[in-house]
Chains A and B, each alone.
Chain A
Amino acid sequence: MATIKQNEHKILGIAGILTFLLLWELVYQLALIRPIFTSAPSRIITAAQWLFANGLWYDIWISTLEFTLGFGSAMLVGVVGGMVLGWNRRLGAIFEPFINLFNATPRIALLPLLILWLGIGLLSKVAVVFLGALFPILVNTISGLRTLDPSLVYCARAFGANPRQILLTIGLPSAVPFILAGMRLGVGRGLVSVVVAELVAANAGVGYMMHIAGSTFQTDKVFVGLFLIAGTGYTLTAILSTFERHFERWRPQKY
Chain B
Amino acid sequence: MSSLNAQALSVQYQQQRLQKHILALDTINFAVQSNLFVAIIGPSGCGKSTLLNVIAGLVPPTSGQITINQRVITGPGRDRAMVFQTAALMPWRTVIENAAYGLELQGIARADAQQQAKHYLDLTGLNGFEHSYPHELSGGMQQRVNLARALAISPNILLLDEPLSALDALTRESMQLELQRIWLQSRPTAILVTHDISEAIFLADEVWVMTPRPGQIRARFSIQLPRPRLISHKRQAYFVNLQEEIWQMLGIN
Contact = CB atoms under 8 A, between A and B. Distances in A.
Nearest to B107: A165
A165 B77 CA distance: 15
Interface string B126-144: 0000000101000000000
Contacts of A176: 92
A250 interface: yes
B56 interface: yes
B78 to A, nearest CB: 5
A159 B58 CA distance: 10
A161 B57 CA distance: 12
B59 to A, nearest CB: 10
B78 A158 contact: no
Interface of B: 56-58, 76-78, 80-82, 84, 86, 88, 90-94, 101-102, 104-106, 133, 135, 149, 153
7 contacts: A154-B58, A159-B101, A159-B105, A159-B153, A160-B106, A250-B94, A250-B135
A109 B120 CA distance: 60
B156 to A, nearest CB: 13
A250 B92 contact: yes
Interface residues of A, number: 18
A160 B88 contact: no
A173 B230 CA distance: 44
Contacts of B76: 157-160
Interface in A67-120: none
B135 A173 contact: no
B162 to A, nearest CB: 14
B90 A152 contact: yes
Contacts of B91: 250-251
A160 B77 contact: yes
A65 interface: no
A169 interface: yes
Nearest to A247: B92
Given A173-B92, A250-B92, A250-B135, A161 B105 contact: yes
Contacts of A251: 91, 135
A158 B56 contact: yes
A251 B135 CA distance: 8
B135 A169 contact: no
